[in-house]
Structure 1
């Protein structure tokens, strides 16, 4: 759907209505587009506050999406909590283009398929397999060692749907907690000895590809708490992560923005861990830290516009995730230190309710020295309560 012009009223639709769609929508508005959103939540979500074109239903029910799809010139994704069969049917019944395409999404729609797709493309991935009983977890551990990472094959995020199993005595409880006893597909994944967790964004519009810098993600309890850009690793290894990310995006003929997460192992190998066919938390720094943010390039990519530069604007960028600290109506307290920093940028997502661990906002600080701005960013956000 390559376009040389955008008519008034051109509407981009988002399946999902959280902060990723909201930050993408802000870029769509810059190009004069209208924004429509489809939510499967009962609560009002962040995008619904910035557009009148809001629809509600179920990601499992094509019928509830028809009116939304027909109101859009193009549709894109904010999350992966949908089946490719739904996307195929929605496109067939309405004729509205969807990017990433159902064909691309089908190749990565759950963690098992994703691993097979990229392994077949010659991209090194973490060893894994579907397990159907606690005994199969133990067999996997006999082959690859303890501990074993268990993941819901579809739908896990921010530590939800993940369990680390350290010995045979924990297998039954973890399998049951993840829904294995109820028929959910559970993926056993080898626990990798690594020095860094890395991420790379790739934007593709059908004729161009733009690769973002390799960044380091800092994780606690399976949740990304900070991002450092660029990653402080051997430039050769950073380039390898970028090469593999480009290769992975090409392997699925992806269109839009994609995030690829890697492990850098203790023996210097770059292993692809997970993929997101949408803007990603590891790319929030790009709003101020790159010439063209992941959100702007996402909009450009799915609407057929030329892609923008991914070049860094500063030598160092740090993004701090601000997680909910209290179960209450959302509000941000004690943000003065963060707001008073030169080249500091606070982004509040507009969620109505907070709870411990929920992603509520992020803070980006730019500068010349990674060590210096990381320390400043941590101190500036230390006392923020949400």
Structure 2
């Protein structure tokens, strides 16, 4: 039997924390790199390295105690991952994948070059580019930062020419590179998680429906209430998108359902994703465990649902201050309902502080349970 490898994770947030929890269950030693001490993941890892991963001493310390390095978000510059690889580290996903994904304009160009369906898009160099896009596609438009945008930070919806200047200013143009997409009147937002090893072995999770609140994922329903043929189409597109960027580990593929039959790819995230948190209780193998298995080259686990339906609701901060949760007793009293708090010391309005997942025989019952539990908890 091959010796289990030591796993390093770049990042100290909740995604790293839940990935570490899966790794611990497999007996894998873990280390994380966090910019600040006492991170949610740092309190779980066997070792926490505090510092800037862009510096040589932090890189050397990480390489010394990790055989395989992965990441919890796509904001680490690809050049840093390539530098770690040059120093002998195995980094998955690697710099080549991040170069195709972390700049969302390049991501869209990569997918379009493979013939995959995406919303119409173009680079933005001047305000006139937005006016030309509107003349061609009509309003609304969605203006996006090419890099480092998440949970709606870095997006602006333009409903007329009057919105252009304020949106450009808010998103930091011209210092920040932007691009624009055609606004899509979608029927549903969907997501598919794909776990893929370096050798191409792949498993896929059930297609889910996601609902956003203020651009932040609020509710995830599994399986998505869509026809089987449409789900098969979504899975096929997800497979192709992940292969197009050479994804390894978990890659989340966010999709738009347009009308009854059309699916467009919105964007990719090359790491565990909010749309897959339901899998901890609802699937045979969670997205976090399959991410660990994939980057370490271990056999991938089954992704079947353990119950007919599962619904996840995010717990978002409603104030600014020190975290002080209450209402746990009411939430935990609900049947087949599971609570996850992320261990963040400070709460902020809109900040992801935890999630609730409920299982049931149907989506309506699961959602009722999950919403009731989420409403009971105050942070």
Q: Which of the five TM-score ranges fits, normalised by the shorter chain? A: over 0.9
Structure 1 position 30 matched with structure 2 position 25: yes
Structure 1 position 369 matched with structure 2 position 369: no
Supply the distance in 2 between the matched residues of 1:342 and 1:143 (Cα, whole angstroms): 52
Q: Could you tell me which residue of structure 1 aligns to residue 261 of structure 2?
A: 268
Q: Could you tell me which residue of structure 1 aligns to residue 107 of structure 2?
A: 114
Tell me whether 350-359 or 100-109 shows the greater mean CA deviation: 100-109
Q: Could you tell me which residue of structure 1 aligns to residue 9 of structure 2?
A: 14
Structure 1 position 5 matched with structure 2 position 6: no
**Which digits, 9 at most, give the CA deviation of each residue in 1:65-108, with x for residues without a partner?**
23213321000010011221121112102x01000122222221
Aligned-partner SS, 1:48: coil
| 1:214 CA drift (Å) | 0.3
Supply the distance in 1 between the matched residues of 2:372 and 2:273 (Cα, whole angstroms): 25
Identify which of 176, 191, 213 aligns with 2:183: 191
**Which digits, 9 at most, give the CA deviation of each residue in 1:225-274, with x for residues without a partner?**
01000000111111111111011111222211110000000252110001
| 1:337 CA drift (Å) | 2.6
**Which digits, 9 at most, give the CA deviation of each residue in 1:311-354, with x for residues without a partner?**
01010000000001111111222233320111100000011110
| 1:54 CA drift (Å) | 1.2
Tell me whether 207-216 or 291-300 shows the greater mean CA deviation: 207-216
The runs of 4+ residues in structure 1 deviating greater than 6 Å are: none
Aligned-partner SS, 1:319: strand
Q: Could you tell me which residue of structure 2 aligns to residue 311 of structure 1?
A: 304
How do 1:161-240 residues align onto structure 2 when only pairs under 5 Å count? 161-181=154-174, 183-207=175-199, 208-240=201-233
Supply the distance in 2 between the matched residues of 1:82 and 1:58 (Cα, whole angstroms): 11
Instruction: Give the TM-score, by structure 2 length.
Output: 0.96
Supply the distance in 1 between the matched residues of 2:172 and 2:52 (Cα, whole angstroms): 21
Instruction: Give the TM-score, by structure 1 length.
Output: 0.95
Contact 1:62 1:90 in 2 (8 A): no
| 1:59 CA drift (Å) | 4.7
Contact 2:100 2:245 in 1 (8 A): yes
Aligned-partner SS, 2:19: helix
How many pairs are equivalent? Answer: 378
Supply the distance in 2 between the matched residues of 1:192 and 1:254 (Cα, whole angstroms): 26
Supply the distance in 1 between the matched residues of 2:166 and 2:45 (Cα, whole angstroms): 44
Q: Could you tell me which residue of structure 1 aligns to residue 90 of structure 2?
A: 97
Tell me whether 63-72 or 104-113 shows the greater mean CA deviation: 63-72
Structure 1 position 341 matched with structure 2 position 329: no
Identify which of 51, 58, 79 aligns with 2:45: 51
Supply the distance in 1 between the matched residues of 2:308 and 2:7 (Cα, whole angstroms): 34
Structure 1 position 140 matched with structure 2 position 137: no
Supply the distance in 2 between the matched residues of 1:364 and 1:6 (Cα, whole angstroms): 34
Contact 2:37 2:50 in 1 (8 A): no
**Which digits, 9 at most, give the CA deviation of each residue in 1:146-192, with x for residues without a partner?**
111111111111111111111111111111111113x2111211110
| 1:52 CA drift (Å) | 4.3
Supply the distance in 2 between the matched residues of 1:376 and 1:26 (Cα, whole angstroms): 25
Contact 2:358 2:366 in 1 (8 A): yes
Supply the distance in 1 between the matched residues of 2:246 and 2:217 (Cα, whole angstroms): 27
Supply the distance in 1 between the matched residues of 2:337 and 2:160 (Cα, whole angstroms): 44
Aligned-partner SS, 1:36: strand
